[in-house]
Amino acid sequence: MLRWVRQQLGFDPPHQSDTRTIYIANRFPQHGHYVPQKFADNRIISSKYTVWNFVPKNLFEQFRRIANFYFLIIFLVQLMIDTPTSPITSGLPLFFVITVTAIKQGYEDWLRHKADNEVNGAPVYVVRSGGLVKTRSKNIRVGDIVRVAKDETFPVDLVLLSSDRVDGSCHVTTASLDGETNLKTHIAVPETAVLQSVANLDKLVAVIECQQPEADLYRFVGRITVSHQTEEIVRPLGPESLLLRGARLKNTKEIFGVAVYTGMETKMALNYKSKSQKRSAVEKSMNSFLIIYLIILLFEAILSTILKYAWQAEEKWDEPWYNEKTEHERNSSKILRFISDFLAFLVLYNFIIPISLYVTVEMQKFLGSFFIGWDLDLYHEETNQRAQVNTSDLNEELGQVEYVFTDKTGTLTENEMQFRECSINGIKYQEVNGKLTPEGFSEDSPDGNRHSLMKEEELFLKAVCLCHTVQINTDQTDGADGPWHANGIATPLEYYASSPDEKALVEAASRVGVVFTGTSGDTMEVKSLGKPERYKLLHVLEFDPNRRRMSVIVESPSGEKLLFTKGAESSILPRSKSGEIDKTRVHVDEFALKGLRTLCVAYRRFTPEEYQEIGKRLHEARTALQQREERLADVFNFIERDLELLGATGVEDKLQEKVQETIEALRLAGIKVWVLTGDKHETAVSVSLSCGHFHRTMNILELVQHKSDSTCAEQLRQLAKRIKEDHVIQHGLVVDGTSLSLALREHEKLFMEVCKNCSAVLCCRMAPLQKAKVVRLLKTSPEKPITLAIGDGANDVSMIQEAHVGIGIMGKEGRQAVRNSDYAIARFKFLSKLLFVHGHFYYIRIATLVQYFFYKNVCFITPQFLYQFFCLFSQQTLYDSVYLTLYNICFTSLPVLIYSLFEQHVHPHVLQSKPVLYRDISKNAHLGFKPFLYWTILGFFHAFVFFYGSYLLMGEDTSLLGNGQMFGNWTFGTLVFTVMVITVTMKMALETHFWTWINHFVTWGSIVFYFIFSLFYGGIIWPFLHTQDMYFVFVQLLSSGSAWFAIILIVVACLFLDVVKKVLYRHLQPTSTEKAQMYSNRVALSDEFIALQPLSRARNQLSKISLLRQVQVSTAWTPCAASQMGKQHAHLLEECWND
């Protein structure tokens, strides 16, 4: 019961030990003091709430917001003491906001529950009592043997026991986990691989010891102890033995595996953990404004309370004849009376805090985010991918970016590798028509037209064909792109690889005569010039970012034990003792200068004694349960030494389309671009120059290859000095990973000073965590700039999560970056539209929304405060309680919401073609102290005009009706309220630059709705109302011609100064944005855009645009889809502006 309660409350009890022991088929030992471990069941829970905790948990989350909590306090105060307004005035808006939010979150959670139930109820087959039993996924327990058939997904994390293949191997695709579509091979240990039937598996007696669950998809440490007759055989278990929940079985009829991690302890579920909540600068400003308005509220309440007692110091006002005090009131404590009066004034003025602001902002962000997905300019037709929004909370942050941190490979480049050159034994080669040709020789020259390979060339190509993780699609009967022809031999093979480099190299080797034809068990088959050779795969030393290399140990057909290694030149060359090391190093640098990605290839021969020692060390390290990674790293370093260098490869990664133009546009917008890459120095610099990140005229400063703090500090000081001396020239900085570590350790301020004075920064040889550290360094600097990180691979995830805004590229390196990002786009070039158009619009919209909300609430509550001066601070309310309740909910809510969804103050093509306009909104310009002060003062000014304008009209008991009848206080309050509703709605209309039929409908409709509602509310006696002070008041007010004249006069008086200010500022001190608006109005633009259309419908509409070329379309449009003609008009506008 206690465990169930803990689960319902969301507590996960910590594991008691570092490892878990799993008895296969749950055959627990019958003797000894065995205490069974408790494991999670196999239910997946992605929902946030349960039936039991929804109400308390949801209420707790909602009341953490300042405004909600504040209104709750006000509501409770109204219930406890006698206040001038009904508790309904605070309770109803609060109830509305809380209910709307709770319904939205409850519905979203219900959908998650529904999806969970589908997954948890899926049918599975489990081996129990000597047979296959069909059960539901949620009933699987740790230790159960599960059968999975071809093309089914794994219901739990399984350790592979056997498959339908003799060697116990199977192929798996993990596309749903990390996006990698290549087939990965998993292998069972030999002792269980032979158990291919249910009957044999039921007799298996074995124990698995492994680490407790962790989120890393690529890490698993364990060992299996199989009881075979009288002996116990221990085998290591690693990632190659673990089949992850969510992955799919391919090219294998069926497998059996034992469940090791279940339910919320599977690696897939652990990777669902929520990211740290990112908050936008606008939200932080909003909270600051709330606190300021809270101070204003407290000031008004305290002042009113003091003035009340100052007024009541005179006896005639303390107890007038018409309001004598009771005995209880005379004897009550003055302190308690003061507190009670203070709270009453607090309640009276409480609407200065806009409770509906949060729910409006939430709706604006949620609905506004759809426009990014609908934008056809962000749609990539080749891959059929459109922009994706994972976090709508940061839309406006796209308009505030000051630093962009970008990955290189797959982000600036295509990540489509093409083999270009290689160096073998100190000689450079190029591929010419399917043949390796030494540099300087053409195909027609005597040496260039060879049909055989030299010994060194053949060994190099064999190393390339054996040292990899490439898979072959065994279902393939025809080559996807037609067969490759290698020396006349058709090889219809389709390769899959997690690394595009590996695939390019294996394909290149196959074209020139050495073809990798696949693996069978532990045998790799290679055809060298048509002659098949079989190599036994003995060990794979997996690639890792620290070693920056991978190796295989194979047994050649002659029985020789060979190690083949490939990796970065910085990790291979220092470990090589023979071969053409110096020539190869020169060639690698030349390849890098051309912008090619380089890898070095080496090998080593083992004597039988050496191999025996290696096998023993590898077994010990792989079966260790503690510090396995450290032990394996030591063994790998021991094996990968004394290498003989074979050569190097150069693979080209093409730049993406319009990368140069995008980087230049970002620079014009005042955004600094930093490239963070793992590539070598020369390659990274070459690509930076070709993509426009570095200019040819730029002074390139370098901070590379430093080994000590002192040399690094000295170099930094020299760089700072050079920048000061040559301050006119633009500077670019290149820094490598090792130098960066030294710079950040002791000289952080100096390093940051150098970086900030450089126009562009390139960091090469970067580890993933170093990328995140650089982003954090800029984020936490004194200026607190807004950062954006963009990348496409798993190594970019930490950087994407660290930045204020993270953008994933839907590339070829899996989907980890997309899954962990806030936004996802298909190409780097889309970044300009995302920032300059969507970011600009979202920021302007929400900045105006927030300021306008505070403005209209100041307009609303200030007359209430002024009215107290005319009623002896008796806490008499100016407005009827229904008007108090509906002001923010109904009368003034829709115009600002529609504005915040559709406003486009400048033509989108102008925004994109003139990136300099982005500078106008940088550094939170529209939500700074000056704009905030302007809107607040404007609110107070309008409130004074509302109140005193109405007072001048009615204050001296003037009769405004033909029969001489006087108006009362409710009529006066209604007049003020009517003027206010019209003025604040018209103010929103003045702020709107882009009018659609929806804007017209809600703007004028809100005013009409107010009049109709007031007529019905005051024209009928409602039986359920306790009092009806407003009966016939509104009808009486509208029957006076003087009242109509007053309404018009006061509205004009309020808005006249606004209009004058706008006109003067736009003509005398126009900003770049206002210039763009003026020129937009002068040029006739025929906008052929599709508004508010889903992607498929918008695309169909685009085909019909040519029929409308002569028509001036004035309907609503969004940045969804732009026709070519619209773009031409925008260019015309741009030329006009430049002239």
Which string of DSSP letters, residue by residue, matches 826-855?
S-TTHHHHIIIIIIHHHHHHHHHHHHHHHH
Burial class (CB in 10 A: 0-12, 13-18, 19+), 399: buried
pLDDT, tens digit (0-9, with 9 covering 90-100), for 269-304: 776 544 556 777 787 788 888 888 888 888 988 998
- N- to C-terminal Cα separation, the chain: 78
Q: Are residues 659 and 745 in contact, defined by beta-carbon separation less than 8 angstroms?
A: no
Q: In a 3-state reduction of DSSP, which class is residue 720?
A: helix
User: Tell me, what's the pLDDT at 1127?
Assistant: 47
Please state whether 868 falls in left (phi above 0), alpha (psi between -120 and 50) or beta.
Answer: alpha
pLDDT, tens digit (0-9, with 9 covering 90-100), for 354-383: 777 877 888 888 888 889 889 888 888 888
Torsion over CA of 861, 863, 869 and 872, rounded to 10 degrees?
A: -60
Tokens of 1049: 């006069």
The verdict on pTM exceeding 0.85 is no
Residue linked to tokens 């298909």: 826
Of the residues 144, 178, 375, 407, which is catalytic? 407
| Whether 726 is catalytic | no
| Residues found in the chain | 1139
The residue ranges of the chain whose pLDDT is under 50 are: 10-15, 273-274, 446, 448-450, 477-491, 1083-1139
| Residues 6 or more apart in contact with residue 788 via CB below 8 angstroms | 398, 401, 403, 404, 405, 803, 804, 805, 806, 807, 835
Question: Could you tell me the CA-to-CA distances from 582 to 454, 573, 587, 601, 791 in Å, in that order?
Answer: 21, 9, 9, 14, 35
Number of alpha carbons in the 13 Å side-chain half-sphere of residue 688: 29
The Cα–Cα gap between 225 and 210 comes to: 11
User: Tell me, what's the pLDDT at 788?
Assistant: 93
DSSP symbol at 153:
B
User: Tell me, what's the pLDDT at 963?
Assistant: 53
Residue type, 839: G
List, in sequence order, every beta strand (DSSP E) within 1045-1113. Answer: none
The Cα–Cα gap between 644 and 624 comes to: 31
Mapping DSSP onto H, E and C, the string for 901-927 reads HHCCCCCHHHHHHCHHHHHHHHHHHHH
What share of the chain has pLDDT > 90, as a percent? 13
The Cα–Cα gap between 658 and 827 comes to: 9
User: Tell me, what's the pLDDT at 489?
Assistant: 43
Q: In a 3-state reduction of DSSP, which class is residue 1122?
A: strand
| Residues 6 or more apart in contact with residue 104 via CB below 8 angstroms | none
Please state whether 74 falls in left (phi above 0), alpha (psi between -120 and 50) or beta.
Answer: alpha
The Cα–Cα gap between 720 and 712 comes to: 12
User: Tell me, what's the pLDDT at 284?
Assistant: 79
